[in-house]
Amino acid sequence: MQENRNNFVRASAVLGFLLLVGLLGTGYFISNSLLTVKAMERSVEVKGLAEREVKADIAIWPITFNVADNDLVKLSTTVNNKNSQVLAFLESKGFRAEEISINAPSIIDKLAREYDTNIPLGFRYSATSTVTVYTNQVDKVREARTQLADLGKLGIAVGTDTMGVGVQYLYSHLNSVKPEMIEEATKNARQTAEKFAKDSSSQLGKIKRASQGTFSIDDRDSGTAFIKRVRVVSTVEYYLSD
């Protein structure tokens, strides 16, 4: 009886030992696998920039002037005459009729404004008229603007570019430069990632994820608004390995 009990104890001990070894081995392999997966997840995120200067291909040029008079009928006639003179000026500079639009004038009757009753009126009526040029002849707009004194000789005082109202220069061919700029930004990102990998004694792997930033179009500077700077930043994450 005692011998059987001893045999049972020895067998249980051996079984327990084997189970312990097995669990330790399993734990080792699981731990090693986790380390391997973690190593595979090593990555670096970099940004690549692409910039390009382009010339605006659309100009929107509002020409605004004011007229004042005590006679509303006379005021309206004067506005129409001056609009015709501005139109003739623009056509003489090479702009087509379909590129020019004349907005309805804004007319103010000072007597109709209660808060102005105690202010000397001068002229009772004042009108603001705007003639707008929408064209792809950007260079002609730039040249014609230097000759606005010709309108002054006709008694038309053109308003200055105040309150953010002036010539707008636009660039409408973004889609034509997008592919090249995205490729350039991606190449720049990879160069940065390769340098990081080299400095960290690693190897650069495949792309883990990538995202394209929003394209922005801004004036190069305030003095040359007809020159635009197109900019995009791409973000790319690469795998790293030893």
Q: What is the mean pLDDT of residues 115-126?
A: 69
The pLDDT score that the predictor gives to residue 114 is: 58
Among the three residues 122, 142, 170, which one is the final residue of a domain in this structure? Answer: 170
CATH number reported for the structural domain that contains residue 196 in this entry = 3.30.110.170
Q: Which helix (H) or strand (E) holds 66?
A: strand 58-69
Give the model's pLDDT for residue 38.
44
Over residues 7-21, the pLDDT tens digits come to: 554 555 544 555 444
Question: Based on the domain organization, do 83 and 108 belong to the same domain?
Answer: yes
What confidence tens digit (pLDDT) does each residue in 44-102 have?
A: 899 999 999 999 999 999 999 999 999 999 999 999 999 999 999 999 999 999 999 99
* Same-domain check for residues 8 and 93: no
pLDDT at 116: 56
Number of structural domains the chain divides into: 3
48 and 85 share one domain = no
Shared-domain flag, residues 150 and 63: yes
Residue after which a domain boundary falls, among 112, 139, 170:
170
pLDDT in tens, 168-223: 999 999 999 999 999 999 999 999 999 988 888 888 988 889 888 889 999 999 88
Residue 164 pLDDT exceeds 50? no
CATH code at position 96: 3.30.70.2970
Same domain, 157 and 235: no
Same domain, 144 and 234: no
What secondary structure does DSSP assign to 160-224, as a single string?
A: PS-TT-S-EEE---HHHHHHHHHHHHHHHHHHHHHHHHHHTT-EEEEEEEEEEPPPEEEES-TT-
Residue 171 to residue 55: CA distance in whole angstroms = 7
Shared-domain flag, residues 70 and 140: yes
3-state secondary structure 108-139: EEHHHCHHHCCCCCCCCEEEEEEEEEEECCHH
Q: Which of 158, 59, 154, 140 lies closest to 94 in space, CA to CA?
A: 140
Looking at the structure, tell me whether residues 111 and 177 fall in a common domain. no
For 52, the domain range is 42-57+171-242
Instruction: Indicate whether 7 and 75 sit together in one domain.
Output: no
Instruction: Assess whether pLDDT exceeds 60 at residue 144.
Output: yes
Average of per-residue pLDDT across 143-169: 82
